[in-house]
């Protein structure tokens, strides 16, 4: 029986493990095809992937399942996640599949699905797919079997799409940048985009071998990018994650800017140029200092749950255009369909060029509250106690020592097997002691759960 379980961003797990294995991928492809046939008797599905070695296995399994249900398949090869969303809409496909585990190490993999509009499928569709995965597969009549073709020009189409997202009167000539492609899906896309727009480009993390994606590089490990920016005396550095939907930025002095900083930069720029069209959507992880700064600029702000899907849902709810997460997801719906690291980098460059300022000149160095985040590994044991009243009240007592502006956020990761702990306060001396106390409480409870 298949064990297909959707998390905050599709299905994800150890390649060959209980969730992400070839059998489940086969059933997933077939189930998706069956769901799509409710609106189209012969659906067309795009399949793209990042550079993990397991991508070959899952691509073949998904292809077989889709063919068995009667779908036509277009194989795109290694492509960034936002490219799949764009191409699904542009090529009038019924759905697009991304085989990727984003920022996770190569041992993991995952499956995400876009609808015909290039947006993530609703939860109701995921429920229908998961239900069908428990059913026996029924292959269509041989005359109705699907077939697969490969789209050779996919990367070129996406490169042109990205280039069109910066103002046409802006040139990157004379600007030197470093790109860290995380040995992932942007490795053969991002360099062309910035070079063709005139920038002098140095690239690292662009030699994928199937095993080195996100390995000490990319948006989760920016140390090498910082060193390269300083060594080459470049103006800026941009780090993407394995599937290209996250962005971290490094300035000419080696300072690192995260997703909150991008929201600070872009909200100010878009307000200044009358392009803001509403407020800003962040998440429960957004630094309270950013919230305070937005309030001082009369820019409305709302928090969503973690994950680009949640951010997109809130943007839709309020009819706003701009959202993001500290992890580097940044969305401007006036330019893209979803979070896009390459387009995000182009928007950063546009904002700085138009304002004729550096990042350090635009972004206040002290707007954030001091914060610290710790990941506590966990096994598969039940951790529902995190949200139960007794534990919540215990943590609230600790939180009081942080003062009026302090907070503690504890949540289970939807993409990794860990519990994330965030402590944030304007009382710097309390930061480490409170974090230590909370971590010890969690470890104690985890130990009890194991026993």
Query: Is residue 102 annotated as part of the catalytic site, yes or no?
Result: yes
The terminus-to-terminus CA distance of the chain in angstroms comes to 29
Q: Is 127 exposed, middle or buried (0-12, 13-18, 19+ CB in 10 A)?
A: exposed
Q: Is 397 exposed, middle or buried (0-12, 13-18, 19+ CB in 10 A)?
A: exposed
| CB burial string 294-331: b at 16+ within 10 A, e below | beeeebebbebebbbbbbbbbbeeeebbbbbbbbbbbb
Give the 3-state secondary structure of residue 408: strand
State the catalytic residue, choosing from 2, 100, 102, 310: 102
Q: Is 105 exposed, middle or buried (0-12, 13-18, 19+ CB in 10 A)?
A: middle
Residues 92 and 40: beta-carbon distance below 8 Å: no
Beta strands in 184-291 (DSSP E): 200-204, 236-240, 247-251, 256-257, 280-283
* DSSP string for 69-110: HT-EEEEEEE--HHHHHHHHHHTT-SEEEEE--TTS-TTEEE
- Report how far residue 270's alpha carbon sits from residue 145's, in angstroms, rounded to the nearest whole number: 49
Residues 109 and 58: beta-carbon distance below 8 Å: yes
Q: Which residues pair with 249 in a beta bridge?
A: 238, 257
Nearest Cα residue to 112 out of 74, 190, 55: 55
Catalytically active residues, by annotation: 102
């Amino acid at each position: 029986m298949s064990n297909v379980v959707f998390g905050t961003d599709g299905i994800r797990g150890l390649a060959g493990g209980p969730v992400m294995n070839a059998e489940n991928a086969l059933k997933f492809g077939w189930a998706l095809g069956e769901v799509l046939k409710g609106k189209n008797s012969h659906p067309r599905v795009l399949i793209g992937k990042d550079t993990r070695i397991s991508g070959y296995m899952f691509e073949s399994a998904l292809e077989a399942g889709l063919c068995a249900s009667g779908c036509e398949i277009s194989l795109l090869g290694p492509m960034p996640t936002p490219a799949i969303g764009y191409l699904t809409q542009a090529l009038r496909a019924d759905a697009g599949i991304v085989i990727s585990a984003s920022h996770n190490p190569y041992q993991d993999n995952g499956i995400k699905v876009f609808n015909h509009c290039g947006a993530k499928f609703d939860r109701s569709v995921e429920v229908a797919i998961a239900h069908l995965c428990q059913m026996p597969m029924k292959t269509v009549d041989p005359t109705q079997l699907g077939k697969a073709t490969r789209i050779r020009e996919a990367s070129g189409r996406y490169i042109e799409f990205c280039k069109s997202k910066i103002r046409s009167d802006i040139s990157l000539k004379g600007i030197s940048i470093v790109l860290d492609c995380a040995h992932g899906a942007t490795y053969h896309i991002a360099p062309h985009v910035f070079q063709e727009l005139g920038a002098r480009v140095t690239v690292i993390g662009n030699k994928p071998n199937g095993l080195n994606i996100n390995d000490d590089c990319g948006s989760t490990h920016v140390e090498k990018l910082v060193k390269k920016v300083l060594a080459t005396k470049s103006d800026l550095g941009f780090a993407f994650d394995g599937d290209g939907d996250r962005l971290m930025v490094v300035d000419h002095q080696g300072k690192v800017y995260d997703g909150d900083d991008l929201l600070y930069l872009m909200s100010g720029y878009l307000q200044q140029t009358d392009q803001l069209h509403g407020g800003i959507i962040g998440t429960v992880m957004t630094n309270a200092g950013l919230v305070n700064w937005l309030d001082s600029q009369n820019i409305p702000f709302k928090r969503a749950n973690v994950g680009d899907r949640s951010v997109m849902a809130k943007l839709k709810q309020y009819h706003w255009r701009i959202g993001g997460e500290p992890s580097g997801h940044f969305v401007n719906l006036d330019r893209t369909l979803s979070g896009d690291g390459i387009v995000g980098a182009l928007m950063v460059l546009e904002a700085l060029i138009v304002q004729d300022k550096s990042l350090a000149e635009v972004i206040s160095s002290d707007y954030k509250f001091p914060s610290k985040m710790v990941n506590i590994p966990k096994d598969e044991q039940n951790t529902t106690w995190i949200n139960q009243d007794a534990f919540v009240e215990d943590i609230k007592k600790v939180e009081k020592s942080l003062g009026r502006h302090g907070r503690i956020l504890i949540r289970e990761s939807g993409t990794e097997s860990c519990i994330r702990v965030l402590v944030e306060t304007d009382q710097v001396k309390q930061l480490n002691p409170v974090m230590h106390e909370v971590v010890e409480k969690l470890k104690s409870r985890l130990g009890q759960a194991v026993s």
